[in-house]
Each structure stands twice: as C-alpha cells, then as structure tokens.
Amino acid sequence: MPRPAACLFDLDGLLLDTEPSHAEAWSQAAAHFGLQLGAAQLLQLRGRRRLDCAHLVQAWIEAGSFRPVASDELLALRQPIAEKLLAQAPAMPGAEALIGRCQQLGIPMALATSSSREAVSLKAAPHPWLAAIETRVHGDDPQLQRGKPAPDVFLLAAERLGVEASHCWAFEDSPAGAQAARAAGCQVHVLRPEAIAPVLYPPGVRWLNSLAAVPLD
C-alpha cells in the first residue's frame, strides 16, 4: 500500500487501554438507578461521546421502568469513578512505537477522539509520547457537529491537517469508530477486541493483530 498522507488515531481502546475503565464507570453509575448493563449495551457505548453515552443509558433506565433520570444526574455519578480509573490507564502494546514511527517517517498525525479535551488531558498525563500528536479533534470540540458513528470527527481531523480524508489511514477499535472513519472515506485499520464480532464492523476494513503490525514503510 502507498504511504498514507496522514494517520488519524482514535484514543480509547486504540492508543490507551481505557475501555475497561469506561465500562466499569458506566456500570456503576447505571447500577445506582437499578440498571445492570449487559455486554451488548456496554458495546454500544464503546467509541461514542460521553453525552451520547449518557443519553443511551438514560433511555435504557427509563425503558426498564426505573425512575426517570436526567443525563446530568447520571454523569455526576459516573465522572468521579471514571476519572479515578482513567488516570491509571496504560498504553496499548505497540502504541508508543507506532507514534514514534510516524514521527520518524514524517507522516502527519491527528487525534480523532470522542473524549473531551479535559478527559484527554487526564488520560494522557502519564504518557508524554502522546504530545507528538499535536493536531486534535475532541468530542467536545466546538466545530464538531456529530459524534461517532458519524464521520465528522475524521473529516475535521483531516481538514485540520490539510489533507483529503480519502488519503488518510484511520486507526480504530470500536464498531462506531470504524463506521465513522469508513464513512469519512479513510482507509480504516481496526485493532479489534476479541469480544467484538467482526460482523459488527463495516466492510473493507483492514484488521490488525497488533499496532506493531502496521505496514507504514
């Protein structure tokens, strides 16, 4: 494959091993209102913006005939749990080396994440190598109209790098993120968690066994 014009990276579950922490925080918050989140529901939350997740959990609580709950109330319970767990999230194997290879090869990079700017700062603090990705689109970016699985985050990231999204490689782990990148026209590389079936991803993605297997050169 020709070298990409740019690489667009998801963060959670791709560069940092944060997804177990997110799942635990949402599970604890939902349980406070009497809802036990199942594996299929937690999968639906993966890769999406915090507020979008809150709206989903809120709907599940109300559909289960539990008492109505405001998304702000749900987030007030979830956030302290998430922040404590996420501050300790390790890097995914091969992530630091992959970013270093992009630097060495002069390939422009951008972060295309559903996480807010504040959340990224918290999670990235123990990982100074992430500072190499200077161009970033956060989930609360004022220019971001829609979150994943809509393509907006990848289109905006490519625009800020001054390249066409169709000339970019996007790296994702979640079905929602892969759908977003595919809809943006990117060449999508997926580091798929074992618990997620391939059929949930859009056609045409390239599967990665590890981040060390990316054929950049």
Phi, psi torsion values for 210, nearest 5 degrees: -160, 165
Instruction: Annotate 63-77 with b (16+ C-beta within 10 A) or e (fewer).
Output: eeeeeebebeebbeb
Query: 141 catalytic, yes or no?
Result: no
The order of strands in the sheet holding 109-112 is 135-137, 109-112, 6-9, 168-172, 187-190, 206-207
Place of tokens 């949402």: 26
173 an active-site residue?
Answer: no
Single out the catalytic residue among 12, 52, 152, 173.
Answer: 12
Q: How far apart are CA 138 and CA 121, in angstroms?
A: 11
**Residues involved in catalysis:** 10, 12
